Homo-oligomer: A and B are copies of this chain.
Amino acid sequence: MNEKRVLLDHGSGGVASRDLIENIFLPRLNNPILAQFEDSAIIQAGSARLAFTTDSYVVDPIFFPGGDIGKLAVHGTINDLAMQGASPVGLSLSIILEEGFTLADLERVADSIGIASQDSGIPVVTGDTKVVPRGKADKIFITTSGIGIVPDSLSLGSGHAKPGDVVLVSGYMGDHGVTIMAARSGLAIKSSIQSDSAPLHRLVAALLEQVPDGIRCFRDPTRGGVATVLSEIAEKSHVQIEINEEKIPVRPGVDTACEMLGLDPLYLANEGKCIIIADQKVAGTLLSTMRQHPEGQSGEIIGSVISLPPGRNGRVVMKTAVGGTRIIGPLSGEPLPRIC
């Protein structure tokens, strides 16, 4: 008998990842909060409304242009909190080390975690370290969790998009994913291309301050990229999302590297960018506020939300640069493992 097994694609953040969670974990952890599939859970703890999130980082290589596994872990968890409009309060840090990993490299990762934590202003308050024998892990895996405070009045969600809304991105797409894939393939790409790893909590706070009403959701397009995240939003909101290829910011060097590596920037992971769905009335204020912020300088309005044609499920349609249209599905069957 051919036993069913875990495949690399189960970790890509696309359709297979979702199937694994929906088929194996959700029925057993029966829980409406978990089933919402947001970047963090919103839970009530006494009088506090908290965001709570976790992610494991298994990126390969662990050091890459623009960052390393430690920086990524700190920023990734801060961003998952920020995407729910939360003010991050503290992080946890749990490390699995392979026996024989050099202490020099561990110090380099720890340096990077320390700097990312200090620069973000979010402390690491608790942690754990485990060691497994040589060959039972790959150098270092990091799991960070985070807690944030969510304003009581705030209601964000991937199911909140409405016809007439606009779709914004906070900057160039694909930088992180292409950097990792290029590093793994040995492709020498332009030195200007590097991971976009960055914390987004200050950008989100600035946007929510300027635009207290009208933002439907923030999402960070990590594994699976903007295509997968917009597909999830379209599905959960029962809408059609139309995006304009020419409006999606992609650096020329990323475009070139994607062609050489056979990748599509729409499906590549980003680690310092967000997608925002918002009422069109606030689009101008959002865009101008975003562009004044270091993490949003290259922000763009890339599309809009329209009603679904009768009988259709939520979907994403792209107007291509050459004037056609293309249906954009979630990442499926193209494993991009260990991208974060």
Asked if B11 and A131 make an inter-chain contact with CB atoms under 8 angstroms apart, the answer reads yes
Assuming the A-B contacts A54-B127, A90-B52, A101-B5, are A111 and B47 also in contact, with contact meaning beta carbons closer than 8 angstroms in the complex? no
Stretch at the interface among A132-140, A264-272, A296-304: A132-140
Asked if A43 and B125 make an inter-chain contact with CB atoms under 8 angstroms apart, the answer reads yes
Assuming the A-B contacts A41-B90, A43-B90, A54-B92, are A28 and B114 also in contact, with contact meaning beta carbons closer than 8 angstroms in the complex? yes
Q: Does A98 contact B (CB under 8 A)?
A: yes
Stretch at the interface among A30-38, A232-240, A318-326: A30-38
From B9, B17, B100, B143, A56 is in contact (CB under 8 Å) with B143
Q: Does A123 contact B (CB under 8 A)?
A: yes
Asked if A124 and B29 make an inter-chain contact with CB atoms under 8 angstroms apart, the answer reads yes
Which residues from B are CB-within-8-Å of A132? 11, 58, 60, 138, 141, 337-338
From B40, B46, B145, A48 is in contact (CB under 8 Å) with B46
Asked if A43 and B89 make an inter-chain contact with CB atoms under 8 angstroms apart, the answer reads yes
Q: Does A169 contact B (CB under 8 A)?
A: no
Assuming the A-B contacts A5-B103, A133-B337, are A141 and B96 also in contact, with contact meaning beta carbons closer than 8 angstroms in the complex? yes
Stretch at the interface among A18-26, A160-168, A189-197: A18-26
From B56, B97, B127, B149, A10 is in contact (CB under 8 Å) with B97
Taken together as a complex, chains A and B put the C-alpha atoms of A138 and B10 apart, in Å, by 16
Complex copy number for this chain: 2
Which residues from B are CB-within-8-Å of A104? 3-4
Interface string of A99-128 (1 = CB under 8 A from B): 111111011001101100100000111111
Taken together as a complex, chains A and B put the C-alpha atoms of A324 and B145 apart, in Å, by 47
Which residues from B are CB-within-8-Å of A149? 45-46
Taken together as a complex, chains A and B put the C-alpha atoms of A29 and B338 apart, in Å, by 26
Asked if B30 and A114 make an inter-chain contact with CB atoms under 8 angstroms apart, the answer reads yes
Q: Does A50 contact B (CB under 8 A)?
A: yes
Asked if B45 and A99 make an inter-chain contact with CB atoms under 8 angstroms apart, the answer reads no
Asked if A10 and B128 make an inter-chain contact with CB atoms under 8 angstroms apart, the answer reads no
Distance in Å from the Cβ of A90 to the closest Cβ of chain B? 5
Q: Does A312 contact B (CB under 8 A)?
A: no
Which residues from B are CB-within-8-Å of A97? 6, 10-11
CB-nearest residue of chain B relative to A99? B8
CB-nearest residue of chain B relative to A51? B126
Asked if A45 and B43 make an inter-chain contact with CB atoms under 8 angstroms apart, the answer reads no
Taken together as a complex, chains A and B put the C-alpha atoms of A94 and B145 apart, in Å, by 9
Q: A6-B99, A34-B125 are in contact. List 5 more A-B contacts (CB 8 A).
A: A6-B98, A6-B100, A34-B127, A41-B92, A143-B145
Residues of chain A whose beta carbon lies under 8 Å from any beta carbon of chain B:
3-12, 17, 20-21, 24-25, 28-31, 33-34, 40-41, 43, 45-48, 50, 52-58, 60, 89-90, 92-104, 106-107, 110-111, 113-114, 117, 123-133, 135-138, 141, 143, 145, 147, 149, 337-338
Ranked nearest first, the 4 interchain pairs of A and B with the lowest CB-CB distance are A11-B131, A28-B114, A48-B48, A54-B92
